[in-house]
Chains A and B, each alone.
Chain A
């Protein structure tokens, strides 16, 4: 096997165009995005020999999600992965697919993610070991955990609500160009600050959208990539890491991206200043601020100041991000948006983003997934992706 053959490439991506899907089941949405990604790659279902999806289907009575789904989709696989890290799971799974391909376990791996919380809201089941100490205090869904992080970040570094709002404003500037975005209206800092407080200091517009939908991507070996006509994107580096409450010694002002980011940069042999575009998980505005710092785009504590003056706005900001409108405005399917982060990075590297937000000569992109809750326990996954000719 030559060196080039050990590489892994993203050959196809698909984001479900709808944001409210009352009439379809979650498995059916997985199927639609799977077929969409296959068509984008120019591959057939029979070409797929690896399959990865998270455990959010919550099948009863037996929760063999990935196994049930492989049968449902008619896949014959030699590699399966059902890593469950919440919203970062699809980003983790792209990394796992690339590693499996490098190890010769499979040649073409499908990653799917889907859910329909807009049409069928569900609550998390109690029963985890930590639930007794966390689920009983009236947390406002996931918001309060992130709010606790935001409050502490403000206390330690002087970050302001207006700085957090800049994240939403930048996302809304991008979403206006995306006809599928759930929210397409451009909002101002003032409108974010005047939106109802949900869990201080986070307002309603500091939160991502709740949407049905999903997405998929296909990771292939170099041998498969060379046979395809669509431009492939190289997986140049990956890192993943966990941060949890650590016996009660938790930190609220940094995420596991402080570990996963350097791993990915080292594997790819690049540094933050080389990156042309970033897909940053944006469950809440504070998630983006802390991630920018943890990935080394600015010093710890400077994230709030960094995003002022349009730094995140494509195409000409210092760090153009989430050009589809992100979880903030476009899509956060199944309350877990990792797959949309991968999809938009691939669009940028193929120069297929909406023209108004396409980053000129975009050669190197970073994807960061943040799953779980930065106020308690979380898993980060960072990918460095390069244009096929990179």
Chain B
């Protein structure tokens, strides 16, 4: 399997701390101090209760595959990397997040597989969180 690109990720200013964490190899989850909700994706306030009292906490980086698709016709900079896996991973903290599962045989992946987060970096300093099967 070809290594996947690590594109630059434009983001809103309220998510700066989250993406700084990714660049530093740390996945921080936003949690509301008002109602306790884990907020995905990070936005600096809690859409569950409306509180602006949110904090970033390190996540376990562990999860299970909730659903996945093996892409055979990539778009943009992913063209030529097929086949590769786009998945929803359910983090052990709860949120189901979109990502790639890398490093294994796409055709042997199953829903429910345990996965662990890895950080990948591009030559220009960009960084992304992905997962490998455990």
Does A390 belong to the interface (CB within 8 Å)?
no
Contact B88 A141 (CB under 8 A): no
Name the residue on B nearest A149 (C-beta).
B67
Contact B100 A131 (CB under 8 A): no
Mark contacts of B71-106 with chain A using CB atoms, 8 A cut-off: 1 yes-contact digit, 0 otherwise.
Answer: 111111110010010111001001111111000000
Name the residue on B nearest A244 (C-beta).
B47
Given A129-B12, A152-B66, A199-B69, the answer on whether A137 and B99 have CB atoms closer than 8 Å is: yes
Contact B96 A200 (CB under 8 A): no
Contact B47 A247 (CB under 8 A): yes
- Interface window among A74-82, A83-91, A179-187, A248-256: A248-256
Mark contacts of A99-132 with chain B using CB atoms, 8 A cut-off: 1 yes-contact digit, 0 otherwise.
Answer: 0000000000000000000000000001101111
Mark contacts of A177-203 with chain B using CB atoms, 8 A cut-off: 1 yes-contact digit, 0 otherwise.
Answer: 000000000000000000011111110
Given the complex of chains A and B, what is the CA–CA distance between A192 and B43 in angstroms? Answer: 42
Which B residues are CB-close (under 8 A) to A151?
67-69, 111
Find B41's partner among A127, A130, A199 (CB 8 Å cutoff).
A130
Name the residue on B nearest A204 (C-beta).
B73
Does A155 belong to the interface (CB within 8 Å)?
yes
Which B residues are CB-close (under 8 A) to A269?
none
Contact A138 B71 (CB under 8 A): yes
Task: Tell me which residues from 140 to 183 in chain A have a Cβ below 8 Å from any Cβ of chain B.
Answer: 140-141, 143-144, 147-149, 151-152, 155
Does B119 belong to the interface (CB within 8 Å)?
no
Contact A132 B67 (CB under 8 A): no
Which B residues are CB-close (under 8 A) to A129?
12, 41, 43
Given A132-B9, A155-B111, the answer on whether A248 and B72 have CB atoms closer than 8 Å is: no
Does A309 belong to the interface (CB within 8 Å)?
no
Shortest beta-carbon distance, A376 to chain B, in Å? 8
Contact B96 A249 (CB under 8 A): yes
Which A residues are CB-close (under 8 A) to B10?
126-127, 131-132
Given A136-B7, A140-B71, the answer on whether A248 and B97 have CB atoms closer than 8 Å is: yes
Which B residues are CB-close (under 8 A) to A136?
7, 9, 128
Which A residues are CB-close (under 8 A) to B15?
132
Contact B72 A197 (CB under 8 A): yes
Does A228 belong to the interface (CB within 8 Å)?
no
Contact B69 A147 (CB under 8 A): yes
Contact A198 B72 (CB under 8 A): yes
Name the residue on B nearest A253 (C-beta).
B67
Find A248's partner among B5, B38, B78, B128 (CB 8 Å cutoff).
B38
Does B52 belong to the interface (CB within 8 Å)?
no
Contact B48 A196 (CB under 8 A): no
Shortest beta-carbon distance, A138 to chain B, in Å? 3
Contact B4 A138 (CB under 8 A): yes
Name the residue on B nearest A126 (C-beta).
B10
Find A152's partner among B75, B86, B111 (CB 8 Å cutoff).
B111
Contact A133 B98 (CB under 8 A): yes
Shortest beta-carbon distance, A70 to chain B, in Å? 33
Shortest beta-carbon distance, A193 to chain B, in Å? 14
Most buried by A among B10, B41, B84: B41
Which A residues are CB-close (under 8 A) to B77?
138
Does B37 belong to the interface (CB within 8 Å)?
yes
Does A139 belong to the interface (CB within 8 Å)?
yes
Contact A138 B100 (CB under 8 A): yes
Given the complex of chains A and B, what is the CA–CA distance between A148 and B66 in angstroms? Answer: 9
Find B67's partner among A130, A148, A247 (CB 8 Å cutoff).
A148
Task: Tell me which residues from 193 to 228 in chain A have a Cβ below 8 Å from any Cβ of chain B.
Answer: 196-202
Task: Tell me which residues from 15 to 37 in chain B have a Cβ below 8 Å from any Cβ of chain A.
Answer: 15, 19, 37
Which A residues are CB-close (under 8 A) to B70?
197, 199-200
Given the complex of chains A and B, what is the CA–CA distance between A132 and B40 in angstroms? Answer: 12
Given the complex of chains A and B, what is the CA–CA distance between A248 and B31 in angstroms? Answer: 12
Shortest beta-carbon distance, B50 to chain A, in Å? 13
Does A5 belong to the interface (CB within 8 Å)?
no
Given the complex of chains A and B, what is the CA–CA distance between A360 and B118 in angstroms? Answer: 59
Contact A249 B88 (CB under 8 A): no
Given the complex of chains A and B, what is the CA–CA distance between A197 and B84 in angstroms? Answer: 13
Contact B71 A248 (CB under 8 A): no
Does B115 belong to the interface (CB within 8 Å)?
no
Chain B residues packing against A (C-beta within 8 Å): 4-5, 7, 9-12, 15, 19, 37-41, 43, 47-48, 66-78, 81, 84, 86-88, 91, 94-100, 111, 128
Q: 17 A–B contact pairs at CB < 8 A?
A: A132-B19, A137-B86, A137-B100, A138-B5, A138-B75, A138-B77, A138-B86, A140-B71, A151-B68, A197-B72, A198-B71, A198-B73, A199-B73, A200-B69, A247-B39, A248-B91, A252-B66
